[in-house]
Amino acid sequence: MAAGSGSGTRPGTPPPTLLTDLATGLWKTHTLTAAIETGVFEALAAGDADAPELARRLGIGKRPAEILLTACTALGLLEQRGGRYRNTAVAAHYLVPGLPDYFGGYVQMVARYTAPGWLRATEAVRTDAPTKPVPDPDRNMFEEGNRPESFWEGLFTFSTLTARQLAGSVDLSGVRRIMDVGGGAGATLIELCRRHPHLSGTVVDLPHVCALAGERIAAAGMTGRIDTAAADFFADPLPSGHDAVLLSMILHDWDESQNRKILASCLDALPSGGTVLISELLVDDDKSGPVDAALMSMNMLVGTWGRNYTGAEYTDWLRDAGCSEVRTVRFSSPGANGVVAGVKA
């Protein structure tokens, strides 16, 4: 057989596998979403089942049940033995509602909230403006009503998993009280305080987000160690009394001039010797990748006025803002691959 004949290409030409994988990426996303929303993983947590049995449990037809189960098995979400299906270890840990690391909310948030902007990605590239629909484009995209509560809830597990890696990678032994600026529903600070018993802190965010954070902090039993402070970090001074400030997956939302303002405000709130921590998916300094940071930057293009930046860019901004001893610590997590830290002179 001639080389290349099996792939349908001329001999010596590369197969189009990369392109078909990219073109059909949406199929994988929405297969997972459909399985979550029809309750496949929750149903199988109660015990394995064949397709007709699961169809009855879910209240769907046998044909779609067979198709969906086959697809989920091919994607590594289910296992099939003797015609009976069960959750894989990943699905059992992350996709069963009610478990601590339930990830389904994030998947649904991406499918419902993020995807509409992605469907107009070409428009975003051509206009250099977000294409993600918001109820009131004349207001801050994070204001109450402009992002659904499901956005903050969906990010909670995503942020939790990221914070676990951050907590184990950065030396916080010298930090007593940390301020999480733009801290959302509090996932990051909750995890940092769990990992470091000496640590306490404050979640700073808009008032309606602080209300969500207060509920999560109380549920985690951290009310005595973590408090909230409602503030707009572009308009309001940040609270004092902290020896470190964390910006976790925040600066990618904004352009350079706005980020410099945020950093200036953070440094104003810190004493000399205080630390600024920027945790992000860092783009390589030569801007060749990595894939997760590059695609998150595309996500910022369709949804915000920001992008993902390089470690070198953050280093320059911190030094310009008055930081010394700037360093980058690398790690691997869903939402960040490193933290750039600087000490206020």
Catalytic positions, please? Answer: 252
Token readout for 118 is 């992605």
**CA separation for the pair 151, 133 (Å, rounded):** 14
Are 66 and 106 contacting, i.e. CB atoms less than 8 angstroms apart?
Answer: no
- CA–CA distances in Å: residue 270 to residues 170, 215, 249: 19, 27, 20
Which has the closest alpha carbon to 308: 238, 244, 256, 235? Answer: 256
Q: Which helix (H) or strand (E) holds 33?
A: helix 25-38
Nearest to 230 by CA among 182, 265, 277, 271: 182
Instruction: Return the DSSP state at 144.
Output: B
Bridge partners of 188?
A: none
CA distance 252 to 335: 11
Quote the CA–CA distance of 226 and 179 in Å, as a whole number.
9
